[in-house]
């Protein structure tokens, strides 16, 4: 069967997803839809081959693990555009199409004198995926800057606008993540304050600034610091397949955290809401002996214990089996359950 093309989308049959996920898993989709115009979404959904097909929404594939082929339609927004809106004297508002690259947006903002996103530089993925995952790094989460999210409801076949509170943001979580494949995000409007102060409280940031000899950092200095830290710690997906941090930092009851800290004083631990504590998943994995482990082409990075890597031709099943082994080892050693950060597509 041939591809179906229109001015607003391309629909390709039996498509490889190897170049559509940063773990480089060689899965396939029955159909792959690339949307270049959000107005074309209803026409795409009216295509006969998609009417009864399951749908999977995919950004740049930096937060997904395919353990199998997908017998349905994988849908990706490829729209482009960044527009500066009137935000008044206290902020600048920026509306961004979902298909824009997140790191490209951060660099665009810095180049145009807009601060706030610099801690989130070098995070892979699309702008549309950012609110779904509530991406965060070095003490900052994207929810802090999201004014609204525009999305298409695939169930009710209508466009909708979510204000910040409607998104129900949590730690690496949102209403969009809790209802996968219902809301196709088409654009995000950010609100960046004109009054800026650096966010450099996170471990390692101040030390890196001191090493760089910077006492009064500007936004570009914070961005450079974060880039230095990320490139030093995290493997580049362009060099070796990975999806960044594969496990969330676990939240556990405060009493349990105190008991673990009494037994393991070096365990990094931070206070969290509702009498809980956040632990370092990387420390737990490394202390369980998994850092640098390799089974065939599936492995755990020797640079950062949170990163699951594909050394070449690992299948999604092999990568997921290794991730499950890590979870079981940490559970047995510390009694803590690790939760994957990426979405795992299983049978």
* Catalytic-residue membership of 172: yes
Do 1 and 13 touch, CB atoms closer than 8 A?
yes
Exactly one of 24, 172, 191, 343 is catalytic; name it: 172
Do 183 and 166 touch, CB atoms closer than 8 A?
no
* Catalytic-residue membership of 16: no
What CA dihedral angle connects 52, 183, 310 and 102, to 10 degrees? 140
What proportions of the chain, in percent to the nearest 5, are helix, strand and coil?
A: 30, 30, 40
Beta bridge partners of 104: none
Exactly one of 126, 245, 277, 288 is catalytic; name it: 245
Q: Give the E-state strand segments of 157-219 in sequence order.
A: 158-163, 183-193
Exactly one of 148, 277, 341, 343 is catalytic; name it: 341
| CA–CA distance, 292 with 303 (Å, rounded to integer) | 8
- The CA-atom distances, in angstroms, between 198 and each of 104, 231, 340 are 21, 21, 30
Which residues fall within 8 angstroms of residue 65, CB to CB, at 6 or more apart?
Answer: 21, 23, 25, 243, 308, 316, 319, 320, 323, 340, 342, 343, 344, 345
* Catalytic-residue membership of 341: yes
Catalogue the active-site residues.
172, 245, 341
């Amino acid at each position: 069967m041939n591809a179906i093309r229109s001015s607003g989308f391309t629909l390709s049959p039996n498509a490889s997803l190897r170049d559509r996920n940063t773990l480089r898993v060689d899965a396939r989709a029955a159909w792959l839809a690339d949307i270049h115009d959000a107005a074309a979404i209803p026409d795409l959904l009216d295509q006969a081959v998609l009417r009864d097909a399951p749908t999977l929404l995919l950004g740049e594939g930096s937060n997904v693990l395919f353990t199998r082929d997908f017998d349905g339609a994988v849908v990706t927004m490829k729209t482009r555009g960044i527009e500066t809106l009137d935000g008044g004297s206290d902020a600048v508002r920026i509306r961004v199409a979902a298909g824009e690259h997140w790191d490209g947006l951060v660099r665009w903002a810095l180049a145009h004198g807009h601060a706030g996103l610099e801690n989130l530089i070098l995070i892979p993925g699309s702008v549309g995926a950012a609110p779904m995952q509530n991406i965060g790094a070095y003490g900052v989460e994207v929810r802090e800057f999201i004014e609204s999210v525009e999305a298409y409801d695939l169930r009710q076949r209508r466009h909708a606008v979510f204000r910040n509170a409607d998104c129900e943001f949590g730690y690496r979580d949102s209403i969009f993540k809790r209802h996968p494949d219902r809301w196709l995000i088409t654009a995000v409007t950010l609100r960046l304050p004109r009054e800026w102060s650096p966010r450099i409280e996170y471990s390692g940031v101040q030390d890196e600034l001191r090493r760089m000899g910077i006492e009064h950092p500007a936004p570009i200095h914070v961005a450079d610091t974060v880039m230095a830290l990320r490139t030093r710690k995290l493997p580049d997906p362009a060099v070796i397949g990975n999806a960044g941090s594969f496990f969330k930092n676990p939240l556990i009851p405060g009493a349990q955290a105190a008991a673990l800290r009494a037994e393991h004083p070096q365990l990094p631990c931070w206070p969290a809401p509702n009498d809980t504590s956040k632990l370092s998943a990387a420390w737990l994995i490394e202390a369980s002996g998994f850092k640098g482990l390799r089974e065939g082409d599936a492995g755990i990075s020797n640079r950062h214990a949170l990163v699951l890597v594909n050394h070449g031709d690992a299948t999604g099943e092999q990568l997921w089996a290794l991730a499950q082994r890590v979870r079981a080892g940490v559970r047995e050693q510390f009694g803590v359950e690790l939760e994957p950060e990426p979405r795992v597509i299983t049978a």
